[in-house]
Amino acid sequence: MKSLYENLPEVEIGGRKLVGRVLFGLLVLVSALVGATSGLLLVYTTELPQVEALEDYRPSSITEIYDDHNRVVGSFALQRRVVAGYDDYPQVLRDALVSIEDKDFYKHSGINFWRIVGAAYRDIESGGKVQGASTLTMQLARNLFLSPDRSFHRKIQEALLAIQIERHFTKPQIFTLYANQIFLGHGVYGFESASEFYFSKPARNLTLVEAALLAGLPKGPTLYSPILHPDKAQRRRTLVINAMLEDGKITAAQAAAAREAPVVLHVARDPNSLAPYFVEEIRRYLEGKYGTDQVHEGGLRVYTSLDVDLQRAANQAVLDGLAAYERRHGWKGHLENVVAEGNVLEKYSHPDWDDEPEVGGYIHGLVTSAGPGIATLKFGRYTAALGQPDVAWTQQKLADILNAGDICYVKIVTLGANGAARVTLEQDSGAQGALLALDNTTGAIKAMVGGRDFNDSKFDRATQALRQVGSSFKPYVYTTVIDQGASPDDTVLDEPVSFETPSGEYSPHNYDEKFEGIITLRRALAQSRNIPALKLANKVGIKTVIDYAERFGITSKLPPYLPVALGSAEITLMEQTSAYSVFPNDGVRVTPRYITRVTDYEGRVLEEDFPEVKDVISERTARIMTAMLREVVLHGTAIAAAKLPFPAAGKTGTTNDFTDAWFMGFTPTMTCGVWVGYDEKKSLGAKETGAHAALPIWMNFMTVAMAGKDAGDFQPPPATPHNVAQKVDTPDAAPATEESH
């Protein structure tokens, strides 16, 4: 029997054999590819994390600090991120981001095959590594799980993870994860945080041009930063707008208007810059209790006692008071010159410029040019000019005091949208100021200023500085005497006196070098007479006076020497302010407090702080002392405050050689202490008393603090019998190291 193929032409038989061989070869090739791919997938998938973990994923988020009206006053974070939900991101932002980054986001299953093929072809052609063509899901996978390198190995992992993510999560969930995770420049992560940083508004309120600007940032947060490179940011924004137009997300008219719109930013001020010393106290406490990681990554919510409005008033009062002091003592010069230090003017940046400036604030500016009649300067993105009238207070010619490259201190008068500003020349000779304000009833710290410039010095002069308090210590002497039965109308002899001590004779004197003879205790305190205070302290015993001061909450070491009665001891402003609140509080001391409540990321309360109270002196003594300290304002050394439209009481304090100036004062509802001085023991200058240097700051702050509020009235003291104080000359002191006013 003949073969079926015997009658077939040889060509046909050969063709069939060739086709068979080709098919066989293709099958072998496909099998090899499948095997290789399976092997690769096995290798790569064994290294991949489980995306199911994303169900419980919570990105590192900001710990925020709030004031007593839930306004943000500070934050701590390794990554500045505010976590938001899908509905918090407006449609215009979603459209902008999808149009420029991943047009088929809502259609693909994690990867866009044709984009990858196209990108790979271009990379092979150019000899580069595999890059580009990443979908939003692939970018999310990379940001969450993978390294930023652009190797083929990582690209495969990225694609596989993207597919897994798409299998486990919905598109809105994926978008939300991406929108909260992505880096958008200047330490900001996520679009909610970016919206608040660049535009000072939540993302839900973004306009088309704003959304387009933000959507352009993921490709290059630094390269397209609207702060660093506004021209490049605008060009990138135009690309986003064009992409939205191509996708039919906006109309031609909307696109045209958006392209023409200028880049307008409202960069948020660093919240920590408002009350930096207060925020730093909070940070130290929280890290000590909860640990650094929890504080900087855990998204705690910290509710504090601070009042933003009062803090602004405190900042302004201290800075204005120091500026007035500087002007009283004339131009000192000695400005730092960056050119002399080898810096280039065009590249110089001062630490002050990291914070957004504001009208009324003080800042260091760089003189860019100086001539006989005008000097130009810059600070951040602003420029300003100074003419001869602007420096008239220095009594110097402008050309003699300012040179190109000088760093000068100025007060901001206006800030223009075009970058032009008006400023006045001021001076920073190193004088410092501190202010602390407490709510009498709760002990809540409502405002705290620890120095002139936190960027320049982190040292907190409100809580850390031990300074001699001068005559602001005298109320403890009079409290001791009154609490032991004396009356404000009792008398004491103001006359020359000496005390014999183991180290020699101690002969104190009054500030004015005069003596008034027989005077009442009320007048002796109001006029801050030194001799009566020393006699009274000597009579009851300086150790007894110190015991009373400690009952008021003074924890600093007080040596048992008579000059302590005049304030030679060193005490912090925090201690003094808290102690003075006892007087308007009817003898009760409430421990100062910063924090009212702390919650975790989920809103669970971690701690709550309630006022801690302690009886210090009797109601009778407290009210009598309040009335006596009221006399200091009405008829004594603080008489300048008598014009205030609310009841006030307090005590001035000035140390020897005018190294420290104090005013400790209170109303029925608030106690505030102010200190002015240099960090080193250096004189503020002749006649820079507490009444001259510190009291005006106190008055300016309290005028704002009490505005529109019912300050109330002090409770009248009870009637007391009249006794005459005895003149006692028994020495009970060591030599004075400092005489105080």
So where are the chain's domains? 1-47, 77-270, 330-426, 432-453+460-593+608-706
Q: What is the DSSP letter of 61?
A: B
Q: With CA atoms as reference, report the closest residue to 411 among 316, 346, 337.
A: 316
At 85, the pLDDT band (50, 70, 90 cuts) reads very high
Identical fold, 330-426 and 432-453+460-593+608-706:
no
Euclidean distance between CA atoms 160 and 38, whole angstroms? 12
Q: With CA atoms as reference, report the closest residue to 295 among 307, 286, 285, 308.
A: 286
Q: With CA atoms as reference, report the closest residue to 366 among 394, 395, 341.
A: 341
State residue 43's pLDDT score: 41
* 3-state SS assignment for residue 104: coil
Position 124 pLDDT exceeds 80: no
Considering Cα of 145, then 149, then 152, then 153, what sign does the dihedral take? negative
CA atoms within 13 A on the CB side of 250: 26
**Average pLDDT for 152-168:** 77
Name which residue leads in pLDDT, 34 or 330.
330
Specify the residue for token string 């215009």: 92
Q: What is the pLDDT of the chain when averaged over all its residues? A: 87
Position 38 pLDDT exceeds 70: no
Question: Which ranges in 424-511 belong to alpha helices (H)?
Answer: 474-483
Specify the residue for token string 């008071």: 321
40: part of which helix (H) or strand (E)? helix 10-47
Range 330-426: architecture per CATH: Beta Barrel (2.40)
Question: Which ranges in 329-414 belong to alpha helices (H)?
Answer: 398-401
Position 576 pLDDT exceeds 50: yes
**Average pLDDT for 609-619:** 95
CB 316 within 8 A of CB 323: no
Euclidean distance between CA atoms 222 and 334, whole angstroms? 38
- Rg over CA atoms, the chain: 36
Q: What is the DSSP letter of 353?
A: G
Q: At what angle do helices 208-215 and 252-260 cross, to 10 degrees?
A: 70
Considering Cα of 568, then 574, then 577, then 582, what sign does the dihedral take? negative
Instruction: Give the list of residues 6+ apart from residue 704 with CB closer than 8 angstroms, or none.
Output: 309, 310, 313, 317
Q: What is the DSSP string of 561-612?
A: -GGGGGT-SEE-HHHHHHHHTTTTTTTEEE--BSEEEEE-TT--EEEE----
Euclidean distance between CA atoms 445 and 407, whole angstroms? 35
At 4, the pLDDT band (50, 70, 90 cuts) reads very low
State residue 64's pLDDT score: 92
Lowest mean pLDDT among 70-79, 130-139, 419-428: 130-139
Which class for 550: exposed (0-12), middle (13-18), buried (19 or more C-beta within 10 A)? middle
State residue 279's pLDDT score: 96
Q: What is the pTM of this model?
A: 0.81
Tell whether domain 77-270 is in CATH 3.90.226.10.
no
Q: Produce one character per residue of 193-220: b if its CB has 16 or more CB atoms within 10 Å, e if not.
A: bbbbbbbeeebeebebbbbbbbbbbbee
Q: Would you give the distance in Å from CA 342 to the centre of its chain? A: 32
State residue 573's pLDDT score: 98
CB 368 within 8 A of CB 338: no
At 723, the pLDDT band (50, 70, 90 cuts) reads very low
Euclidean distance between CA atoms 214 and 193, whole angstroms? 11
Lowest mean pLDDT among 13-27, 243-257, 377-391: 13-27
Lowest mean pLDDT among 33-42, 331-340, 371-380, 725-734: 725-734
State residue 724's pLDDT score: 43
At 3, the pLDDT band (50, 70, 90 cuts) reads very low
State residue 47's pLDDT score: 53
Euclidean distance between CA atoms 356 and 266, whole angstroms? 9
Instruction: Give the list of residues 6+ apart from residue 450 with CB closer than 8 angstroms, or none.
Output: 276, 277, 278, 434, 459, 460, 461, 462, 463, 464
At 620, the pLDDT band (50, 70, 90 cuts) reads very high
Q: With CA atoms as reference, report the closest residue to 363 among 375, 344, 381, 341.
A: 381
Euclidean distance between CA atoms 586 and 623, whole angstroms? 6
Q: With CA atoms as reference, report the closest residue to 584 among 635, 657, 650.
A: 650
Instruction: Give the list of residues 6+ apart from residue 726 with CB closer than 8 angstroms, or none.
Output: 539
> Could you give the percent of the chain with pLDDT greater than 70?
84
Euclidean distance between CA atoms 707 and 696, whole angstroms? 16
Residue 307: both structure tokens together = 């009042």
> Could you give the percent of the chain with pLDDT greater than 90?
68
Q: With CA atoms as reference, report the closest residue to 246 among 63, 401, 99.
A: 99
CB 100 within 8 A of CB 135: no
Name which residue leads in pLDDT, 353 or 723.
353
**Average pLDDT for 110-117:** 64
505: part of which helix (H) or strand (E)? strand 504-506
CATH code of the region 432-453+460-593+608-706: 3.40.710.10
Beta bridge pairs of residue 426: 409
Position 528 pLDDT exceeds 60: yes
List residues with catalytic annotation: 101, 471
Going across the sheet that includes 670-677, the strands are 445-449, 432-439, 670-677, 660-666, 649-654
CB 740 within 8 A of CB 571: no
Phi, psi (deg, nearest 5) at residue 420: -90, 140
State residue 24's pLDDT score: 57
CB 419 within 8 A of CB 381: yes
**Average pLDDT for 293-300:** 90
